[in-house]
Each structure stands twice: as C-alpha cells, then as structure tokens.
Amino acid sequence: MTDIASPLRDAKPATGALRFAGLLRSSGLVLGARFAGVGLGLFMQVLLARLMAPSDLGLFFMAMSVMMVLSIVHTLGYPMIVPRIVVDALRDRTPGALAAFMGRARRDLLAISAVVSALALAGVWLWPDLDHAARLCLSAGIAAAPFMAVMRLNGSLANAMRRFSLGFVPDLVVRPLLLVALIAILWFVAPQFGVAAVVIGHVPIVIGLTVWQAARIRRHLVSQGLAAPDPKPASGNPWPMRRQAGSMLVAMLFTGVVADLVLIFSGAMMDSHDVGVFGVCLKIAMIAAFAVQTVQQIAVRDTAEAVRSGDRAMLALVLGRANGLGVGLALAGLAGTVLFGRFVLSIFGDAFVDGYACLVILMAAQLLRALAGPALQMLALVGQERISIPVFGASLAMLAVANAALTPAFGIEGAAVAFLVVMGGWPFVLSWIVRARTGIDPIFGLGQLRAITGRA
C-alpha cells in the first residue's frame, strides 16, 4: 500500500512548487479551455433548444447524465489516488510501479464496466414505461460510459504529471466542438433529426478522443522515462489498493457528477419541461463548480509534495492560494448570476427565464463548496480515504430525501435548495474530520490568509 502520510512540521518551503503566478497561469489555461467548452456547450444546447421541444432536450440531458454517472462508477475510484502514486514514482524513480498500477486500474475498469453496462442495458430495454427514443438515447449513454471512464483515469494521470492540456482539453473543448459539428451536419443532411441521432453520434466521438488521449499520454510518459517498455503485472495482493480506490468512488460521484445525480433524482419528480430548465441552470452553475475544482486539482501535486516532505509552511501556503483563488472565482460567479442571470437564461428561450431563482441558489452552493477547501483531496493524500464513505453515503441519502421532500412541492427551486443543503453539508464535515485527524485545516480562513499575505 502506498502511503504518503507523514508528520507535518514547520520547515522551509519546498522547492520546485508551483508559485502563485504559475497557479494563475495553469488555472487560467484550463479555465480558458473550460469557458471555450462551455461556450460551445451552451451554443449546442441553444441549438437543441431551438430545434427540439423541451422534452427532447430533457431526454438529451438524461442520457448525458447516465453516461457521466456510469463513467464514474466504472473507474472504481482509481483517479483519486493517481496523484499519490505519481508522487511516489517520481520520488523513487520507479516507472515500473506506475505502469503496473495503471495496468491494474485499466483491467479492473474494463471488467467492472462490462458487468455494469450489461445490467444497465438490460434494465433500459426491460423497463416497461420507456418509449423507443428514450431506450435508444439511454443505451447510447451507457455505451459511451466505459470510454469516458478511461478518459477520466488517463486525465487524472495527465494532471498529476502537470500535463493539464491532455487532462482537460479532450473532454472540455474537443468533445463539445465535435458535438456542435455533429448537430450542424445532422441539421444540414436531415433537418428533422431526432435527439437519438445526436446521442448515438456522440458515442464514436468519445471513443476517438479516448484513443487519441491515451496515445498522447503514452508518448509523454515514454519521453519522461516513466513508461516501462514491458511493464510487469502488479505483484502482491491487489485488494488493499482496490479498497483505497473504492473508498473514493462515492466521493467521485459527488465531486465529478453531482449535477448529474441531482438531475437524475429531481428529473424523476418533474415533467420534461422543468427537467430541461433545471438542466440548463445546473450546466451554468457547474461552470463555477468546475472553476473551484480546477484550482484544487492543479494544486494537488504541490499539496502532495508538501505533505510528503512534512512542510507545514508550504502546505498552508498552497492551500491558502488555491482556496483564495477558488473563493474569488465562486464569488464572481454568484455576483454575475445575480446581475446577468436572466439575460443568460433568455438566450435559451423565454421559457428558461423562470429558472433565475433556481440558478442563484445553485451558484450560492458553489461558494459554500469553495469555502470548505479541498478536504477530499487531503483525505486521499494522507491515507484516510475510508472515513469519507459514511459521510458521502449519508449525503447521497440526504440528496435523495431532500429532493423527494422539496421537488414535488416547490419544483426546480426545491431541487436547487436540496442541492444547496447537501453542498453546505458534506464539504464542511470532511474539513472538520481532516482537522481533527491531522491538524490540517482545509477551510479558507485567517490562517491561510496570513500565509498568503506573508509569503506572496
């Protein structure tokens, strides 16, 4: 079992860490890619909203949500522990260990995806209340999920190697760009195309991007001497590593696809029109969520190195910079929503403006997430993953119960409040656990502010 937990001590800052200017540049590059992807995604959704009924748009969102949720399940939590493995491989100069770990992770991913996909497809085609179009769309989402899972695993490796363009750009920019191109081609060839054609056409796009990303990452690892020419299978008992990864699976469902989970829970209690409006609001709010998550992911390599070296001063500085930037981005997103939210929603059509209050609530939830800090990453880095299981299990149940209680009575606003309650709960609970067990406080506060201002 790989463990980088070590007693923290006051020490001089570790050299080679990503400075604040570097954090800004890296975050700016990735966020720029994200905004480009969001622009393409919004353009695609506007096209679909104009070309299709809200019910068809809701079906599109449901199919994409199923794909995203299943892709997380297929990874078995491995992407969350990749940064720890990379730090150890670089420190110990053991490319064979890294190659063996990635090989085991991919084999486990393929095995579980075969079983889960078969069960999911059987459920879709045996469920009596689904029409043919819904079955086709959901089946396409299920088919794309294993390839999205491989993209997630390889993307985590690329980010841990600070190859952020390989980690983010294929999914954030290229995939929506190709989807827009697909919609344009369908509109030109068959103007009356249905939503099933879009979702089915998305499958080969995901497959092609996954293959391209894997080839580029392999080339980078070879150039860095980190790809063993003939990697041996990982030796020893595989279950300790599987348990570590599995402990993060529920966490990944929240951090990676919480919006899709909310859409699935609430979508079962709303009509297709409200699902379409709520889906648009969620997609917009997730821009702020992604901004916060991106800053934390970019800083995770420095966080891991600070924890490994026991450098408490550098750890406080890294956390303070990442949290400060994340909170600033979340505040900017909330302010922009209050001022311009109605205008943004009107781009999708007059019917979507009714989601303004829902959008403001969803944006407020992102501010809470930013204030709580990267507690989940800290638990993974100090080998305390298992403590997150009951927290996320309870949060998953709370999300379902809150949606069942609020969505039927208050519609999309009720679903947004359910999201706010959960997002205001689990991040702070995990932060308090981290502080109690390690003495590290991930929550953005005065201590981190002093670290930032004292050492710019």
> pLDDT tier at 4 (50, 70, 90 boundaries)?
very low
Better-scored residue on pLDDT, 107 or 235? 107
pLDDT of residue 406: 93
Q: Which amino acid is at 218?
A: R
* Ranges 45-54, 148-157, 261-270, 410-419: which has the least confidence: 45-54
Q: What is the mean pLDDT of residues 326-335?
A: 92
pLDDT tens-digit series, residues 31-63: 777 778 777 877 887 788 777 777 788 888 889
Residue 307 has pLDDT above 60, yes or no: yes
pLDDT tens-digit series, residues 206-222: 999 999 999 999 998 88
Q: What is the mean pLDDT of residues 133-160?
A: 94
The rounded Cα 36 to chain-centroid distance in angstroms is 17
pLDDT of residue 453: 66
Residue 10 has pLDDT above 50, yes or no: no
> pLDDT tier at 5 (50, 70, 90 boundaries)?
very low
* Ranges 101-110, 251-260, 299-308: which has the least confidence: 251-260
Residue 244 has pLDDT above 70, yes or no: yes
Q: What is the mean pLDDT of residues 446-455?
A: 64
pLDDT of residue 342: 93
Mean pLDDT in the chain? 82
d(CA 78, CA 36): 28
pLDDT of residue 168: 84
pLDDT of residue 234: 54
Tokens encoding 238? 């595989």
> pLDDT tier at 6 (50, 70, 90 boundaries)?
very low
Q: What is the mean pLDDT of residues 324-335?
A: 91
Tokens encoding 49? 């909203």
Better-scored residue on pLDDT, 110 or 13? 110
Q: What is the mean pLDDT of residues 263-280?
A: 83
Tokens encoding 366? 């992102």
Residue 355 has pLDDT above 70, yes or no: yes
Residue 297 has pLDDT above 80, yes or no: no
Residue 186 has pLDDT above 50, yes or no: yes
Residue 24 has pLDDT above 70, yes or no: no
Q: What is the mean pLDDT of residues 175-186?
A: 91
pLDDT tens-digit series, residues 86-125: 877 777 777 678 888 898 999 999 999 999 999 999 999 9
